[in-house]
Structure 1
Amino acid sequence: MNENNSKFILAIALSFIFLIAYSYFFQPKPKPEDQAHQITQSTHSLQGQAPGASHLAPNTLEQNAPQPTQNTPLIAFVRSKGVEIEIDSLGRIAQVYLKDKKFTAHRQEGFLEHVQELLGLAKPKPPLEKLPLLGTDALKPLELRFVDNALNAEAFKTPYSASAKEITLNNAPQSLVLTQELPGLTLTKTLTFYPNLTYDLKIHLEPKRASNTAYVLSNGARPVADADGYAFHGVLLGTQDHKLEKIEDGKAKKTKTFSNTTFIASVDRYYTSLFFANTPLNAIVDTQPSKNPLPFVSLKGDATLHGYIGPKDHHLLAQINPALTEVIEYGIITFFARPVFLLLDFLHNYTHNWGWAIILLTLIVRIVLYPLSYKGMVSMQKIKDLAPAMKELQEKYKSDPQKLQMHMMQLYKKHGANPLGGCLPLLLQIPVFFAIYRVLYNAVELKSAGWMLWIHDLSLMDPYFILPLLMGVSMYAQQALTPNTITDPTQAKIFKMLPLFFTIFLITFPAGLVLYWTINNIFSIVQQWMINQMLDKKKAREIAKHKK
């Protein structure tokens, strides 16, 4: 590896560190209050709407936005072993609580808080009794707004009545009927809740002439149970041709309309609140001063929808509707990351432990990439062997860069060395590593998934920092075994500091990610040692042959 290659690889490593560290530590965290359902979009923003949404009057969403109603009375409760749902007097889902220990057993804590607990300077926080998913002053699921301003104003002053104050879910679905009596109009929402956190919604308007009454209905602002700033937060819409429309928090610059969508989902890192239907939906995503998206579907008269509020569990979403698995979003590398997750899930079916599945996945990746690694190491070793001759040429032609470059290329050609041979394999491996990184970072399946004796939750940091320290040591050992010819003292020092940088940056990352990185380094050490042995034996044979 010549000096230019060293600079190139060093730049890649430092850029990778900076990208991950900046995104994880410094990206602004979304605030729950930013999801408040006040809408201030201008009149012209609803012009040019999608087919099927034309019955909406301009400025409807802005004019018909109610004032925040944080203390709206609760009129019904839906309870099961794993969930509790609150319904308020405006016919909305006011809050959803997850009670399963998978989501409440361990809390995400900051680095300083954790150190204080380890040193006995602070008491450990007890587990949550239940995890709230929705913001207290946010756009609620099932909020309905009429296009007619007078009717809408009356609707937000008229409470709903519920057919039961409490229903209990066991193994069978249960129904709840919400009724609102308005002047000349009766609105009925029939909700059927299922144990898997899905629900059916039927909206009925009386009398029959109300069939032309237009309104919008929201699946709610995104959940706020996980405020991590690196994961995608915002609204996702599925299209008929299996494409995904994404509107991220802080980037909703204007109101947009979408026709023929398969689902509309508000998401954070681990959770979602969504609508889907048997027929295509016409959706509207509005904005507010914070530029956070606010989702609605456009309806007229009677309507039937299906909804889901809960974790983005791949198996559960696939059982509900295979298209819903698209709400598990991995960024620009989704097309590659999704098969990686399916492989990880396949391995988990045999190991029954996500930690061991991660280790097997890492081993498979190292085996698949072995030909690239071997080719890169051979090329780097050749460049290293040519270092003395390269130094002589640099001294001889230091005042003539063109001749230096010409003789360098001749030297490479003579000995079959490729100056980019060590860089290209590295470049090809980066998408693979980044895909695995995004999969492990976004998989709700890792929550409360233990590994070994001290890791009780692979989605949280290692409580005793064992894995980050092992990662740093293994990275240093790998670096010591890898041939390099960095001659610049400053570059050499920075290169030697990379293990320390990675250890510091990854110390608060989820243990599942650090486990992958550590095991990857260990496998790389073994692989590098094997390649070095093979190259040494090959060199010894060539020397013996030359002596003969």
Structure 2
Amino acid sequence: MFDKMTPNQRLIIAVLLSFVFFIAYTAIYPTEQPTETAQVQNSTEQKVELKEAPKVEDIVGHKISAQEATIANDLSTLTTLKSNDFILKIDTLGRISSKVLLQEMYNTNDNVHAQLIPQSGTKPLFIRFLDPALNEEATKIPYTADISEINLQDTPQKVVLTQKLSNLTVTKEITFYADGHYDVDVSLTQDKRYFIYLGQRPKVNEKEQMMAAVGALIYNDEELLTIIEDGDANERKSYSHIELAAAFDQYSASIMYGFSKDTNIIIDRDRDSNPIVYFEAVQNMKFSGYIGQKRYKTLHAIKPILTNAIEYGWFTFASKPLFQLLMWLHGLIGNWGWSIVALTVLIRVVLYPLTYKGMVSMQKMKDIAPQVKALQAKYKGDPQRMNAAVMDMYKKHGANPLGGCLPMLLQIPVFFAIYRVLLNAVELQGAPWMLWVNDLSRMDSTFVLPILMGASMYYQQKLTPSNFTDPLQEKIFKFLPIIFTFFFITFPSGLVLYWFVNNMFSIGQQFIVNQQFKNAKDAQIAAHKNVEKKDD
């Protein structure tokens, strides 16, 4: 196969294999949204009618039918909830309008506290009625609350929101917990058709979403995970038997769960083809929610099924156990950086037989390359005879032209899996390794780690056997370490650390293989000399 290819064809395949791990999920980042500000409303009772507001599409974030359209919006704060870790606000439309994380490890790149509720789009717990007249009234009559400020510590705290319409009263009882989750009990004095919204996905550090999926997901009782990424929502779809629904970015999510099995979950699209999640509620509706970082232990402690909101894309089957192993290593070592090092070494140890076989095959191909080239020149006018002679040469020396490529191809799923783990692990936020690396989730501002990675890649390339016959190919491949160094400059330090350690392990393994072949050649030469002496 490979001997029939032109040098340029082999170059294209080699470059594609080199880049496939790094650019397969590269995304185009949308523009950054401004952070939301909201006024604090001290009064718990507000009787006046609200001013005219934008169209309902501006609230819910997607186009609705004409008979459902209405006017709505008010952003004044009704209740403020404060804890050691976050500040949460509820506005006069009964929505969770703001949640700011106070931990410095979650600060944005501008070093300001992370805001998990975007300014634009719909917000969690917004209610939309199917009846347009009722919906119009509901968007103008504000809720009232039984308390304007809550200090949340270890004990759960409840707020009761009430909206008194002409012929209907809506009551929301929300119990908040210090770990970020909440329980909701919604009741209506009459049975009306209405919808409750999950809210727009968090948009923290929008420009940092490197190769990470963002959008919405649902997980059903058959353990089937459906992901609709931003830009991919093309039509309205309904789902039932859902265990949880989430709108997520790389590290955080807004999640709702605890629905009855017959709850109809709907995923619609906004103007930019981004998913919008809401569900059809009943007169008395109970469910739970969570807004915060996708920390595995936190989600597992709330409800184990919530850990399915941590998505790894196609390689979830491999990424989940790898993350479990990484957490176990962290429990032993106590440092996420050294845990990544240990995980990388363990993976390479497991894959050692596979990579060793590939390296041996490449070395054999290098050794017989001059003989193969001579056969190709000898039978240049007879391709069939040339191929037969080359295959006999391979068989005689135990070389396989696919031996170097196949093991590498088989490793790609493992590389993708560990890459997805490190890309989505919120635990790396604010986690130091050593010396200058004090946040494994962010790029190394000193550029030392990417440079070390590039240098290790260059040295590994020098040690690895090559069969280049085209000088242009050789020159291009010599520039690959420089190209990859520039790629890795903006990568999170945890990912660069993984690839650097991976390179170092490959260098050590290549040393072993090269030394074995050198020893074998030296033994052959010594044996040949002994034979010549005996003949003399």
Q: Same fold (TM over 0.5)?
A: yes
Closer/same/farther in 2, CA of residues 66 and 266 from structure 1, 3 Å limit? farther
Alignment-mate amino acid for residue 226 of structure 1: N
Tell me, in whole angstroms, the C-alpha distance in 2 between the residues paired with 1:400 and 1:314.
63
2:254 to 248, 273, 281: 273
Tell me, in whole angstroms, the C-alpha distance in 2 between the residues paired with 1:82 and 1:543.
71
Please give the residue correspondences for 1:4-15 in structure 2 after superposition, counting only pairs within 5 Å. 8=10, 11-14=13-16
Query: Would the aligned equivalents of 1:226 and 1:270 in 2 still touch at CA under 8 Å?
Result: no
Q: Equivalent residue of 2:240, what SS?
A: strand
Tell me, in whole angstroms, the C-alpha distance in 1 between the residues paired with 2:360 and 2:192.
73
1:183 to 136, 150, 166: 166
User: Unpaired segments of 5 or more residues in structure 1?
Assistant: 44-58, 109-124
Q: Residue in 2 aligned with 1:326?
A: 308
Q: Residue in 1 aligned with 2:137?
A: 154
Closer/same/farther in 2, CA of residues 525 and 229 from structure 1, 3 Å limit? closer
Q: Residue in 2 aligned with 1:87?
A: 90
Q: Residue in 2 aligned with 1:167?
A: 150
Alignment-mate amino acid for residue 117 of structure 2: L
When structure 1 is superposed on structure 2, of 517-526 and 222-231 the one drifting more is 222-231
Query: Would the aligned equivalents of 1:175 and 1:190 in 2 still touch at CA under 8 Å?
Result: yes
Q: Residue in 2 aligned with 1:223?
A: 202
Alignment-mate amino acid for residue 87 of structure 1: I
Tell me, in whole angstroms, the C-alpha distance in 2 between the residues paired with 1:84 and 1:4.
62
Closer/same/farther in 2, CA of residues 233 and 37 from structure 1, 3 Å limit? farther
Q: Equivalent residue of 1:454, what SS?
A: coil
Tell me, in whole angstroms, the C-alpha distance in 2 between the residues paired with 1:383 and 1:374.
14
Overall identity of the aligned pairs, in % = 44
Closer/same/farther in 2, CA of residues 40 and 443 from structure 1, 3 Å limit? closer
Alignment-mate amino acid for residue 325 of structure 1: T
Q: CA deviation at 1:288?
A: 2.3
Tell me, in whole angstroms, the C-alpha distance in 2 between the residues paired with 1:521 and 1:271.
31
Alignment-mate amino acid for residue 178 of structure 1: L
| Deviations 1:90-110 (CA, angstroms, capped at 9, x unpaired) | 000001000012212xx43xx
Q: Residue in 2 aligned with 1:111?
A: none
Q: CA deviation at 1:16?
A: 4.6
Please give the residue correspondences for 1:101-500 in structure 2 after superposition, counting only pairs within 5 Å. 101-104=104-107, 107-108=108-109, 127-128=111-112, 130-206=113-189, 210=190, 212-227=191-206, 228=209, 230-277=211-258, 279-280=260-261, 281-500=263-482
Q: Equivalent residue of 2:187, what SS?
A: strand
Please give the residue correspondences for 1:511-522 in structure 2 after superposition, counting only pairs within 5 Å. 511-522=493-504
Alignment-mate amino acid for residue 99 of structure 1: L
Closer/same/farther in 2, CA of residues 66 and 495 from structure 1, 3 Å limit? farther
Alignment-mate amino acid for residue 343 of structure 1: L
Tell me, in whole angstroms, the C-alpha distance in 1 between the residues paired with 2:300 and 2:5.
48
Tell me, in whole angstroms, the C-alpha distance in 2 between the residues paired with 1:448 and 1:12.
37
Closer/same/farther in 2, CA of residues 352 and 66 from structure 1, 3 Å limit? farther
2:100 to 97, 100, 109: 97
Q: Equivalent residue of 1:176, what SS?
A: strand
Alignment-mate amino acid for residue 256 of structure 2: F
Alignment-mate amino acid for residue 248 of structure 2: V
Tell me, in whole angstroms, the C-alpha distance in 2 between the residues paired with 1:477 and 1:2.
27
Q: Equivalent residue of 2:79, what SS?
A: strand
Tell me, in whole angstroms, the C-alpha distance in 1 between the residues paired with 2:526 and 2:162.
92
Q: Equivalent residue of 1:427, what SS?
A: helix
Alignment-mate amino acid for residue 19 of structure 2: I
| Deviations 1:488-508 (CA, angstroms, capped at 9, x unpaired) | 111111111111110011111
Q: How many residues align?
A: 503
Tell me, in whole angstroms, the C-alpha distance in 2 between the residues paired with 1:277 and 1:155.
26
Alignment-mate amino acid for residue 29 of structure 2: P
Q: CA deviation at 1:230?
A: 2.4
Q: CA deviation at 1:241?
A: 0.6
Q: Equivalent residue of 2:445, what SS?
A: coil
Q: CA deviation at 1:39?
A: 5.3
Tell me, in whole angstroms, the C-alpha distance in 2 between the residues paired with 1:32 and 1:284.
25
Q: CA deviation at 1:236?
A: 0.4
Q: Equivalent residue of 1:134, what SS?
A: coil
Query: Would the aligned equivalents of 2:21 and 2:412 in 1 still touch at CA under 8 Å?
Result: no
Q: Equivalent residue of 2:88, what SS?
A: strand
Q: Equivalent residue of 2:75, what SS?
A: coil
Tell me, in whole angstroms, the C-alpha distance in 2 between the residues paired with 1:3 and 1:483.
20
Closer/same/farther in 2, CA of residues 4 and 421 from structure 1, 3 Å limit? farther
Alignment-mate amino acid for residue 96 of structure 1: K
Q: Give the alignment's TM-score, normalised by structure 1.
A: 0.87
Alignment-mate amino acid for residue 279 of structure 1: S
Closer/same/farther in 2, CA of residues 429 and 342 from structure 1, 3 Å limit? same
Closer/same/farther in 2, CA of residues 398 and 65 from structure 1, 3 Å limit? farther
User: Unpaired segments of 5 or more residues in structure 2?
Assistant: 35-56, 532-536
Q: Equivalent residue of 1:263, what SS?
A: strand
Q: Residue in 2 aligned with 1:29?
A: 30
Alignment-mate amino acid for residue 225 of structure 1: V
Tell me, in whole angstroms, the C-alpha distance in 2 between the residues paired with 1:231 and 1:39.
23
Alignment-mate amino acid for residue 362 of structure 1: T
Q: Equivalent residue of 1:131, what SS?
A: coil
Q: Residue in 2 aligned with 1:120?
A: none
Q: Equivalent residue of 1:141, what SS?
A: coil
- With a CA cutoff of 8 Å and minimum separation of 6, indicate the structure with the bigger relative contact order: 1
1:20 and 2:22 are equivalent in the alignment: yes
